[in-house]
Structure 1
Amino acid sequence: MQLVDANLVLSLDALLREESVFGAARRMNVSAPAMSRTLARLRKATGDALFVRAGHRMLPTPRALELRERVRLAAEEVRSILRPNERLDLGTLVRIFTLHANDYSAVLLGRSLDALVRAQAPHVTLRIVAEGPNYVREEMLRSGEIDLDVGVHTKLHADLRVQTVYHDRMVAVVREGHPLASKRLTPRRFATGAGHVAISRRGLTTGPIDARLKELGLTRTVQLVVPAFLAGAWVAAESDYIVPVPWVLAKHVAPILKLRILEIPLVLDPVNIAQAWHPRFDGDPAHAWLRKTVRRALRDRG
């Protein structure tokens, strides 16, 4: 039986990630000439050039692109098999965990999660990052650039794990003394009693609220769109706008911003907050502890 060098799989994974011999060498902690020799072995083993030079870059061939995902999974499996199965000692654990969360989830997680982590694993660093212009949730989870994605997950690829943590609902906030807060809010008063602020990272002016209003023959006037719930709540505090936000966020910020919380008189779907991760972390005790701690932090704040 022909012996297979598992290091070739790890090296090919590094090359596919970096698309650079120098970058792959840094990732594998070897010299650039050593990585060049490994690439030559990979080309011989696969019978394909794998990469072709284009200026200062190395572009993967169609065969390399075809192998990319399989190599990534195989490399993670190799690392998992060869990783020592040591008992988790939170007191000495040194690790950086990167979580993606929108402003809503970050507000709920921030202090609560940090307090729980400090009490159990003082040497762990948390990085809560926002969604950038090139953020692709599935790819970031698969590549390991983020450890957890916390938020509303509706259509994630089947190869990812998704665990619902808790259920929230949408309410509306207005400033203290707002005319809409003086008496019961009906669908018509909600739609026409004030200008609306929509919350959308993509700048959309319509959503589930508008669909429900349309069913009742009503429309609202969206006069401002902001990308984050906190920004919307702040606008509500200093204007006559009415702004939809999740209930858990509203109850935490309303006393600070002097807001009134109003029930939206429509039948809206619940806001299901979940955490998503790649299954390669299923057997990682530290990652399992992180998921458990995130669940507790969110439920404590909820």
Structure 2
Amino acid sequence: MNEPDLNLLIALDVLLAEGSVAGAARRLGLSASAMSRTLSRLRATTGDPLLVRAGRNMVLTPYAEEIRQRTRNVAFEARALLRPSSADFNLARLERTFLIRSNDGFVVAFGAAMIAAAAQVAPCVCLRFMPKPEKTSNALREGRVDLEIGVLGEMGPEIRLQTLFRDRFMGVVRKGHPLALKKAITAEDYVSFGHVVVSRRNNTYGPVDDALAEVGLKRKIAAVVPGFSAALAIAQNSGLVALIPASFLISEPAGLYAFELPLKTREITISQMWHPRSEVDPAHRWLRQLVLKVCRDEVPL
């Protein structure tokens, strides 16, 4: 009886997660032609096409959709079996890249401290921060990331969650701006200038606008940008007002003036989220503890 080539399991997992030969090739560090040959072997082994063309794209077959989560779980278990046991776990020798999804504000505020803290005890660990285009648990479920950091979104009930800290929004203008010269900023002062807002989905309305509407006011949105760094750069070089999380301002950006909003808005809870499959992994547990400590040191709960 011929045993199946278990090396194909990892390739199958990546192919089903990426849904494309090119994407799988990039993740595995292979050429597109080598990945195509691997797909041919997988098709012969499973007896299913797995990926078929639909217009200009490739889509998973019904069978591939059916086995995707099972494949993900089995691949994870296989990797876990081949890692050192928790009894032999040694941070000084740990060689691993952790994928962390967060917005740019978190990386600016805490990235350097996290990297330095990790390097002190685990010099061979790499922290890879990735953008967060949407608030879903897909990346965690499919094993494409180790940790998700931010505001709880469309996460499934199985996703583990731990609060890191509470945050709030603040107004930011360039130094020398008329608002920076006021002793007390009123809601009327706040809306008398144009605003730059951050939105990945071009959504310009938020809790601040709700609070303004309650007092009969509305702000003028002059610009929409995809990240907080861009909003700060625009505020620093214009007369616009930016709305920035307080945690983003821990490093006190030069040339800018931050002020409390003249309106009452709800706090934001920033959490770290992970899939249950990583719950007892000693390396992952260490990562979660490191993230929690760095965040609590900078912004006490």
TM-score (norm 1): 0.80
2:186 is aligned to 186
Q: 1:70 and 2:70 equivalent?
A: yes
Aligned letter for 2:246?
Answer: W
How far off is 1:187 after superposition?
A: 1.8
Identity over aligned pairs, percent = 37
Change (3 A) 1:21 1:209: closer
- In structure 2, what is the Cα distance between the partners aligned to 1:122 and 1:238? 39
1:292 is aligned to 289
2:161 is aligned to 162
Change (3 A) 1:190 1:158: same
Structure 1 unaligned spans of 5+: 44-48
For the residue of structure 1 that corresponds to 2:280, the secondary structure is coil
- In structure 2, what is the Cα distance between the partners aligned to 1:31 and 1:249? 41
1:107 is aligned to 108
2:126 is aligned to 125
Change (3 A) 1:173 1:78: same
- In structure 2, what is the Cα distance between the partners aligned to 1:264 and 1:237? 18
For the residue of structure 2 that corresponds to 1:91, the secondary structure is helix
1:224 is aligned to 223
Conserved 8 A contact 1:6-1:78? no
Question: How many residue pairs align between the two structures?
Answer: 287
How far off is 1:92 after superposition?
A: 1.0
**Superposed counterparts of 1:227-246, under 5 Å:** 227-246=226-245
Cα deviation code 1:192-228 (max 9, x no counterpart): x211111112222222211211122111111111221
2:252 is aligned to 253
Conserved 8 A contact 1:197-1:243? yes
TM-score (norm 2): 0.80
| Higher Rg of the two aligned structures | 1
Let me know the Cα RMSD of the aligned residues. Answer: 3.5
**Superposed counterparts of 1:27-42, under 5 Å:** 39-40=43-44, 42=46
Aligned letter for 1:103?
Answer: D
For the residue of structure 2 that corresponds to 1:273, the secondary structure is strand
2:278 is aligned to 281
How far off is 1:63 after superposition?
A: 3.1
Conserved 8 A contact 1:165-1:274? yes
For the residue of structure 1 that corresponds to 2:273, the secondary structure is strand
1:152 is aligned to 151
Q: 1:175 and 2:164 equivalent?
A: no
Aligned letter for 2:229?
Answer: L
Cα deviation code 1:112-135 (max 9, x no counterpart): 011101111111112112246xx6
How far off is 1:286 after superposition?
A: 0.6
Conserved 8 A contact 1:51-1:58? no
Change (3 A) 1:218 1:285: same
